[in-house]
Amino acid sequence: MNAAADTPVKSVLITGSSTGIGHACAVSLHDRGIRVFAGVRRPEDGERLIAETSAALIPVMLDVTDAAAIAAAADQIADVTAGNGLDGLVNNAGITIAFPLEFVPLDALRKQMEVNFIGPVAVTQAMLPMIRQARGRIVNVSSVSGLVAAPYIGAYAASKYALEAMTDSLRVELRNFKIPVSLVEPADIATPIWQKSRETADAIRDELASEAGDDEPADTAAEEVQELYAQDIAAMRDAVRKSEANALPVSRVVKAVEHALLARRPKTRYPVGSKAWAVKLALRFLPDRLRDRIVANSLGMK
């Protein structure tokens, strides 16, 4: 069934609309004639989105870790929709922290969970009265990492596993309100998240170096990471480069999000890409040691 032929969503909030998946979804839904509330963290990102689309797109200043910003966004949306409610929420905002778990600073781990898991819960709580009013829909953007956790992205995978669990619970809790809740589970997608992940890893490395004691060389901690995990890190970097080079276009995710929002019968899950399907259909159900060996081998790790 063609989603465009179904009853359209009138108003949709998309978090993390500055770049990547959120940006692409905001532009595409706007072009379908849907009123898009695009969650951004900087005014200039909102201005850029309007320049790319039209003044009909409404930027919303929204940091999903800031309770006051979430409340203000809910008030803004309620004013604009004038009692008609919110037809769709796309929880897309996210970050990736890639680093050996032994050395991940706990503050960085907390931030990973705050942005990728607690943030979506907080935004959903704030928007649910309006979603219930419109009998709208919720779409949570997860990842293949929410199905199988690869090494060195354990923090990120944990946040996506949590998002998957939250979505499964929420879907049942909202069944009597006829509010569909869907998960989009992309594999490797061509977005700026690759570069952002590298920058985050470099920042953690620099933080470890700066926190070295006065009696140690400034880069002792970073050198310890390299010494202990050098072979795996080199293999992981090579695997990431290959994945980035072969990443799917973001339009594949946009198509899944739009079906979840617009189709008469949305799916509960949307694996995007052959890698996501392979993980979903096979890798999750293998014995753990065989699964670990396959994951390590696929990344070029001995």
Distance CA(137)–CA(106), nearest Å, equals: 34
Query: To which residue do tokens 């989009």 refer?
Result: 184
Distance CA(21)–CA(217), nearest Å, equals: 41
Distance CA(59)–CA(55), nearest Å, equals: 9
**CA 244 to the chain's CA centroid:** 17
State whether the Cα torsion 135-25-75-57 is positive or negative.
negative
Q: Is 156 a catalytic residue?
A: yes
What's the Cα-to-Cα distance from 176 to each of 71, 140, 302, rounded to whole Å? 26, 19, 50
First to last CA, the chain: 46
Q: Which of these is catalytic: 156, 161, 229, 270?
A: 156
The residues carrying an active-site annotation are 156
